[in-house]
Amino acid sequence: MIPPALTPKEWEAAKTACFVRTGTLASVIAIANDELPDDDPRKITWAMYDALCDVKGSSESDVEASEIVDQLIDVLASYLPPRP
């Protein structure tokens, strides 16, 4: 599993310009994603994460596809803020 780009505490502090300048590239990507409007088709969402988890569950017989979906699930989750 890929660790989250930011901890819950870092998410709280993430809106400051100072944090963005000193954060990791992954944290900057996560913050930029969070700042996208909800209707932007490029925004990564928990709904996408959940949909991929559902797809993975239905494609267990295709090992290669399942491994790719696992990677995508981990990447998406690492850029998302904590679930509400």
> pLDDT at position 6, please?
82
Q: What is the pLDDT of residues 10-67, one digit of tens each?
A: 888 776 666 656 667 888 888 889 988 999 888 999 998 888 888 877 766 677 777 8
DSSP characters over 9-31? HHHHHTTSHHHHHHS-HHHHHHH
Instruction: Output 65 or 83, whichever has higher pLDDT.
Output: 83
Locate the domains of the chain by residue range.
8-78
Closest CA to 51 of 83, 28, 73, 75: 73
Give the predicted TM-score (pTM) of the model: 0.63
> pLDDT at position 44, please?
92
Query: Which tokens is 41 given?
Result: 């088709």
